[in-house]
Amino acid sequence: MTTQRTSNGVPNGHNGFRSDSEPDSPSTDSSDSPVNGVNGITNVAGSLKINTRSNMSRKKSSPMMPAFMVSAPGKVIVFGEHAVVHGKAAVAAAISLRSYLLVTTRSKSNRTVTLKFPDIDFDHAWNIDELPWSTFQHPSKKVYYHSVVTKLDPELVAAVQPFLADVSPTKEGPIRKVHQNAAGSFLYMFLMLGSQSFPGCQYTLRSTIPIGAGLGSSATIAVCLSAALLTQLRALSGPHPDQPLDEARKQIERINSWAYVYEMFIHGNPSGVDNTVSTQGKAVVFQREDYGKPPSVRPLWDFPELPLLLVDTRVPKSTAHEVAKVGRLKNKHPKLVGSILDAVDKVTQASAEVLTEEDFDTESEESLARVGELMTINHGLLVSLGVSHPRLERVRELVDHQGIGWTKLTGAGGGGCSITLLKPGVEKEKLDKLEEQLDQEGFQKFRTTLGGDGVGVLWPAVLKNGMDEDDQGGMEIDLEKFLSAEGNDGVERLVGVHGGGGEREGWKFWRVENDAQF
């Protein structure tokens, strides 16, 4: 069978992204179609259907799935931190810092699945055949790729634990905990979605996003792994320019739903805002009033692209600790803290209106000042809740002294990062002086933008980088090149969505029209 391709060259056949119209694909949306249709075996309505051929006419084995990449952006909460945990709205936006996941399929004889995250010195493999498939595949536990999982199953969580015991045994406590969380989240999602016939493969991740800084780094991993697994299972189609709106929306929902499962394993009861904006991109007004129901998500498709100075204080913070702190304060002073959270909510709603006005001008200081003033108010309310930090206040002091923008904390606070909306036409000398002061005081700075694309795919892992190889169809991104890329700049130059310029040829994104609601 000849593999068909869409108009942008993305495969539709059995060795790549499937077409939703492909009748023999195991990735049908039928409610009784489980995701274990690998190597020609599909469980339909409780019975096995095996694709058989006579020995004389047996088709030769298909080649392994080519290496491909998935990328997802980090995020900042622009408005509404902490209030979002208490049922209020938040505005979150994608930033241009991203994670990149390279997926390589191994030979049929190699029955291992490997996670390799060199940026955090994590590398671990499991034998696929030794994993607890019988527990996850039990009729009372089995779920499907199109299922919506809103809580973890304690028995399935327990079944994963023995396979975390030998993860990073020589690492120190906090580092080992990070590794075990990543491993446990992956295994839980892998076992729910996959089957024992899943091919051996390796997932190698590089990221340009600071870890533990409130920028949604774990959510980008969740989104990348979700999209990668669903791609391997042929449960996604596209993305392609003429993809129907409803189909594109369904793909985004599916990726986001499984990324949330990954996040639940790590965080217990996450708001869901990180994985939502990382999957979708641009910006959203996000609200979750009932954790037993899907969140309300209003996309801000007209959200302007805004240049930011993102500053990492390099002070480790704990989201759980800061959230618990506000919870205790609310329990002691319910009316007072409740009114503060209500005020945060009003600021959030006002910001969404301002940022999506038809006459909003990113080059106008008057337009930007309206947003900046709301940022200042939001930060002050968060300070009153006790979630700022002296290092965050120092960044605000330095920026205010130069008079070049408006600064607030982003995320849980207690350390982590700040964001500064810069005034238009800021003198280079002032920016240089500010950045020099930040360097001298041990801050890490990033120039980034808000409102970019969400999850994207590079199928196969071939890019055109303006090199000689482009004449032969582009440069293949193999594992060695990916691992040897040095630092954030090296990763971006090699595989980055923008790579130092405009959107790079090869990367494709699920883009949903302005009137889409999901």
Q: For residue 471, what pLDDT is reported?
A: 53
CATH code reported for the domain at 68-298+455-461+476-486: 3.30.230.10
State the average pLDDT over residues 138-151: 88
Q: For residue 180, what pLDDT is reported?
A: 97
Q: pLDDT tens for residues 88-120?
A: 999 999 999 999 999 999 988 899 999 999 999
Alpha helices (H) in 71-172, listed in sequence order: 133-136, 154-160
Residue 271 has pLDDT above 90, yes or no: no
Question: Of residues 168 and 502, which shows the higher confidence score?
Answer: 168
For domain 304-446, the CATH superfamily is GHMP kinase, C-terminal domain (3.30.70.890)
Residues carrying CATH 3.30.70.890, the chain: 304-446
What share of the chain in percent tops pLDDT 70? 83
Residue 342 has pLDDT above 50, yes or no: yes
Q: For residue 257, what pLDDT is reported?
A: 94
Amino acid at 174: P
Residue 259 has pLDDT above 60, yes or no: yes
Question: Of residues 273 and 380, which shows the higher confidence score?
Answer: 380
Q: HEC states along 58-116?
A: CCCCCCCCCCEEEEEEEEEEEECCCHHHHCCEEEEEEEEEEEEEEEEECCCCCCEEEEE
Residue 397 has pLDDT above 70, yes or no: yes
Residues carrying CATH 3.30.230.10, the chain: 68-298+455-461+476-486
pLDDT band at 518 (very low <50, low <70, confident <90, very high): very low
How many other C-beta atoms lie within 10 A of the C-beta of residue 486? 9
Q: Which of 20, 129, 274, 478 is catalytic?
A: 274
Residue 515 has pLDDT above 70, yes or no: no
The mean predicted confidence, pLDDT, of the chain is 84
Q: For residue 49, what pLDDT is reported?
A: 37
Residue 63 has pLDDT above 70, yes or no: no
Q: For residue 33, what pLDDT is reported?
A: 35
The pTM assigned to this predicted structure is 0.80
State the average pLDDT over residues 489-512: 80
Q: For residue 120, what pLDDT is reported?
A: 93
Q: For residue 367, what pLDDT is reported?
A: 94
What share of the chain in percent tops pLDDT 90? 58
State the average pLDDT over residues 258-279: 90
Q: How far apart are CA 76 and CA 12, in angstroms?
A: 35
Strongest mean pLDDT among 37-41, 53-57, 234-238: 234-238
Amino acid at 63: P
State the average pLDDT over residues 376-396: 97
Residue 35 has pLDDT above 60, yes or no: no
pLDDT band at 501 (very low <50, low <70, confident <90, very high): low
User: Cα-flanking dihedrals φ and ψ of residue 451, to 5°?
Assistant: 85, 25
Alpha helices (H) in 104-172, listed in sequence order: 133-136, 154-160
Residue 506 has pLDDT above 50, yes or no: yes
Q: Which of 72-86, 142-156, 321-335, 472-486 has the lowest mean pLDDT?
A: 472-486
Q: pLDDT tens for residues 180-219?
A: 999 999 999 999 999 999 999 999 999 999 887 778 899 9
Closest to 311 (Cα-Cα) out of 401, 398, 193, 433: 398
Q: For residue 465, what pLDDT is reported?
A: 57
pLDDT band at 517 (very low <50, low <70, confident <90, very high): very low
Alpha helices (H) in 333-364, listed in sequence order: 334-355
Question: Of residues 151 and 393, which shows the higher confidence score?
Answer: 393
Q: For residue 12, what pLDDT is reported?
A: 40
Helices (H) and strands (E) in the chain, counts: 13, 17
Q: How far apart are CA 305 and CA 451, in angstroms?
A: 5
Q: How far apart are CA 107 and CA 171, in angstroms?
A: 31
Closest to 126 (Cα-Cα) out of 176, 171, 37, 187: 187
Question: Of residues 431 and 473, which shows the higher confidence score?
Answer: 431
Q: For residue 240, what pLDDT is reported?
A: 81
Question: Of residues 144 and 503, which shows the higher confidence score?
Answer: 144
Q: pLDDT tens for residues 315-327?
A: 988 888 999 999 9
User: Cα-flanking dihedrals φ and ψ of residue 330, to 5°?
Assistant: -65, -40
State the average pLDDT over residues 460-474: 63
Residue 274 annotated to the active site: yes
